Chains A and B, each alone.
Chain A
Amino acid sequence: MVPSVVAMSEHTTQSGTVIRTRGLTKSFTRGKRTVEAVRGLDLEIGHGELVAFLGPNGAGKSTTLRMLTTLLAPTAGSAEVAGYDVVTQRRAVRNSIGYVGQGNGAGHTQRGRDELVSQARAFGMSRVDARRRAEDLLAAFDLTEHAGRPVSTLSGGQRRRLDVAIGLVHTPSLLFLDEPSTGLDPQNRANLQQQIERLHAEQNTTIVLTTHYLEEADAIADRVIVIDHGRVIADDTATRLKSGLGDLVTLGFAGREQAVIAAERAAAGLPADATVERSGQVVTIRAARGAETAAGLVQDLAGLGAPVQRITVAQPTLDDVFLDLTGRSLRESNETTPTATDETEGAAA
């Protein structure tokens, strides 16, 4: 659809690159302490990508997003968004992007419909077009019947849908979402993910979102950029990130002897980077394409007099990826108290 989306910017269509950063750095100083929130980020994001910045709280995801959306000036380095410099061409960047922040874009004393119209007018739409666009979005996000109520009286899910609708008023070809599903219940989170995926699929909108939900990054992003301590520590599709780790196969046997036979047999047939461990009558194997290996192994072992009694095959999760990269579990990192970086980010807001 959407001629207005395609015609977005000469700059972007020429290169296909929508976001380019070079040594992008942000440090906050509080008292004598300097916190380096983002350290020398080099990124390229192409037109039509759906990218998730994944990392624990305080990793620098939101700070990066705030620099890309002109809310924060970088301490060092540069970034171009939609072909414009985020420092010297801030207004042009703002005209070119949609942004859904962590908070509520809609003012709490406002009515949803009023906010949509106001936002549309800010992007230069005529009064008639702004009203029509507001009604279309209200219908699309199932908000028509709530559009005349003060935003403060809407439910969390309704408010979040309204925020996303406001971010889409001008049909941006590049959309930033900062922690879009934080605070939503699982059902609303699933709805929102579905909406993001459809927006991406149907309009080829470039979408950059931050999340600390592994499942969310895994489910919707084409490309996952794992950020920790202000640096990119991994950048690939979720599938490829995980496939590097291999499946976890657990085999249970009737006795210890059979398990010993199985461990030897498995180790012999696997490449060097696979690991085989035995503990009592249980053998665990971590190997690429482990699920396929397990099928053959089960047959072999039956012939060797060590029949498998029990088998589980677990595919790696992004948490395993994070654990492998950092030695920490992302789930646990999320549960720790917010770091100093978070505080400074909040203060900078």
Chain B
Amino acid sequence: MSTVLDTPAPTTPTTRRTAEARMPGFLADTWNVMVRELKPVFREPASVLFAMVQPLVFLGLFAPLLPEVENGSALQWFVPGIVAMTALMGASFTGANLTQEIVTGSHERLLVSPLSRSSLLVGRALKEVVPMLMQTAIILAVVTPFSFDLHPVGVLVGMALLSLFSIGVGALSFALALVSKDQEWLFWTVQQTLIFPVLLLAGVLLPLEGAPGWLSAASDLNPLTYVVEAERALFAGDVPVDTVAAGFLGAAIVAALGLLVGLRAMNRSA
């Protein structure tokens, strides 16, 4: 147990490290933060299943109850919503990891490191794309043997759309974590309170056609509504320009808002 500190000679041949010279810029910092965030995901890939439990339950127990629709299978209609739901779940959970880092102290260490505040937020938010893609791949692998037709081009465009959306939701989740600080309950209360209204109002589980006026008005204000509609078109192999554009606009608004709020919260983090 006794440890002797044979402090190793610094292996960097660089003799001068003045404070300003040669420090990594924003992109290198962001990459560093993103890679750091991804390390646990790659070392334990099964961890992406955590955010998938609920969507998979809905897929298994809810999809069989759906009535067959005229044009195509119910699954074809349902899966894009479940994919979007998984993205929302995963990205909105992600702030909990930051809460954990705030509680245990590693967030503080990063704040004292030379990494810029913006990179600490942006790198984290960008990382959300990777688990989202892994989760989508799993869902598609599960449903493709059933009455679900895979349209690769549509799916690829759909993934680009969901990437943008995940970055935004992830950034919002990190902002919530930064505001909640070490009060983990606060993070979960807000996250859980918001997530189901957002999901249901987007028509993920049931179509909102014929909904009362107030409900469809609320649905029209929900960016996820447009994302889900675009995903449904894309997964069906169509690329209706207006629907897809509306989806990208919705996701872009979420991303812009998320990064704005997230950067503010991170810059105030002490």
Contact = CB atoms under 8 A, between A and B. Distances in A.
B104 A104 contact: yes
Nearest to B35: A118
A343 to B, nearest CB: 12
B104 A108 contact: yes
A349 B39 CA distance: 26
Given A94-B113, A111-B39, A103 B7 contact: no
Contacts of B111: 71
A122 B17 CA distance: 13
Given A70-B112, A166-B109, A107 B43 contact: no
Interface string B88-111: 000000000100111111101101
Contacts of A203: 7
B116 to A, nearest CB: 8
A199 B7 contact: yes
A95 B106 contact: no
B111 to A, nearest CB: 6
Given A118-B32, A122-B115, A103 B105 contact: yes
Contacts of A340: none
Nearest to A71: B270
B1 interface: yes
Interface string B185-198: 00000000000000
Contacts of A5: 10
A101 B114 contact: no
Interface in B25-63: 28-29, 32, 35-36, 39-40, 43
B15 interface: yes
A71 B103 CA distance: 15
* Overall SS of chain B's interface: loop
Contact of A140 (B5, B114, B182): B5
B2 interface: yes
Interface string A174-213: 0000000000000110010011001100110000000000
B3 to A, nearest CB: 4
Interface residues of B, number: 49
Counting chain B CB atoms within 10 Å of each CB, the highest count among A9, A99, A118 belongs to A118
B14 interface: yes
B241 interface: no
A109 B11 CA distance: 28
Q: How large is the interface on A (under 10, 10 to 19, 20 to 34, 35 or more residues)?
A: 35 or more
A161 to B, nearest CB: 7
B69 interface: no
Contact of A346 (B9, B23, B40, B182): B182
Contacts of A2: 9-10
Interface in A324-348: 346-348
B264 interface: no
A109 B97 contact: yes
B108 A129 contact: no
18 contacts: A5-B10, A91-B116, A97-B112, A101-B105, A108-B100, A108-B101, A109-B40, A110-B106, A111-B43, A119-B113, A122-B32, A125-B12, A140-B8, A163-B105, A194-B3, A195-B3, A198-B7, A348-B270
Interface of A: 1-5, 7-10, 66, 69-73, 82, 84, 91-97, 99, 101-111, 114-115, 118-119, 121-125, 129, 132-133, 136-137, 139-142, 150, 157, 161, 163, 166, 168, 170-171, 187-188, 191, 194-195, 198-199, 202-203, 346-349
